[in-house]
Amino acid sequence: MNVASQGEKRLRSVEPIRWTAEGVVMLDQRRLPGEVVYHTYTDYREVAKAIKDMVIRGAPAIGVAAGMGVALGVERSNAQTLPELRAELATICDTLARTRPTAVDLFWAIERFKKRFEELAAPAKDGAAGLAGLRASMVTEAQELHQERREADERIGKFGAELLPRTGRVMTQCNAGALATGGIGTALGVIRKAVEAGQRIDVLVPETRPYLQGARLTAWELHQDQIPLTLITDNMVGHFLKTGGVSAVFVGADRIARNGDTANKIGTYGIAVLARENNVPFYVAAPISTLDLSISSGEEIPIEERSEEEVTHLGGMRISPDVRAAHPAFDVTPARFIAAIITERGVARAPYEKNLQNLVEKT
């Protein structure tokens, strides 16, 4: 199936993904805000392609999509025996893992599903009834993962809102909203919880070239929620941090190393440096699943290089002569620029190595 023109199904406002009896339904984020188009995927390979092509994006949402992809693949597999199904699972997971390299939630979700599969695949489970149960359990797991993301966002939002003043201006980057997580968002979840608590917050939204997640997605989410915002170009970030009365920066994350170094959408590092220069606290809001304690620093985080065409063209229109372009999709912000990392288990501050570990061990 091609990604184009699948049946449309209304999701809850700004809900990027949902498990349905027909398959995995996704809101096509490439076409927002101009068009609201949904696709229903009935094959895990379509889910993998949707992740790669950025129908869905945002680390936590990519994790949910990967989980649903595994569940879809296992549920619809023709395998008749446990070994067959296990072999197919390996193929499914490999396919999903080869989509985008930076967001660790993708790999985290795949590992979780592999582990869950083995827990469920006790020898007693072989045979038709056992396999059916296993398939159903993987679907349940995907739905649970999605629900956990929603709950994590709520808690992140609550912890983060406490760091914001009664009245203030927040700068964000890219889209760390509902579209990026499947809940209320991480950075935008903080803003939503603050507004819900009666704080008067307005938001500075950098457009986030080349993909314009700020202009297209964050502006759209905030506009729908009637939260005041001002759209700026990415190169206005310094000017507004210097002159614009910004109370705090809140961004999401794609991968956080053991020492707190954080990969996030390209431009985040620049914002962090400019925030520190202007004494504006810079916060990262992300679920525990975005932590990658297996790597010691940000230098080990693979940075995805996307196509040059996304830089030289916009909406199909060429905006430059026929020249070379670079397109690193992420950058790494060293931990020393980060005032705190806000997770669903609490707020970690420096020294991150110790304090992130503490949060992970917390139950």
Q: How far is the CB of 31 from its own copies (least distance, A)?
A: 12
Token digits of residue 186: 């991480």
Of the candidates 56, 61, 69, the one whose C-alpha atom is nearest the C-alpha of residue 28 is 56
Q: How far is the CB of 274 from its own copies (least distance, A)?
A: 6
Separation of alpha carbons 58 and 56, rounded Å: 7
Following DSSP, what letter does each residue of 47-60 receive, concatenated? HHHHHHTTSS-SHH
Q: Which secondary-structure segment (H or E) carries 203? A: strand 200-206
Q: Which secondary-structure segment (H or E) carries 282? A: strand 282-285
- Cβ proximity to its own copies: between 134 and 274 the closer is 274
Q: How far is the CB of 123 from its own copies (least distance, A)?
A: 51
- Cβ proximity to its own copies: between 144 and 305 the closer is 305
**Residue 180 identity:** A
Q: At what angle do helices 128-161 and 82-97 cross, to 10 degrees?
A: 30
Q: How far is the CB of 213 from its own copies (least distance, A)?
A: 11
Footprint of its own copies (CB under 8 A): 33-34, 206-210, 212, 215-216, 219-220, 222-223, 228-240, 242, 266-267, 269-270, 273-274, 277, 311-312, 314-315, 317-326, 328, 331
- Cβ proximity to its own copies: between 215 and 356 the closer is 215
Token digits of residue 139: 């679907």
CA distance from start to end of the chain: 42
- Cβ proximity to its own copies: between 96 and 215 the closer is 215
Q: Catalytic amino acids? A: 254
Token digits of residue 349: 């501050």
Separation of alpha carbons 132 and 115, rounded Å: 18
- Cβ proximity to its own copies: between 52 and 318 the closer is 318
Q: How far is the CB of 217 from its own copies (least distance, A)?
A: 10
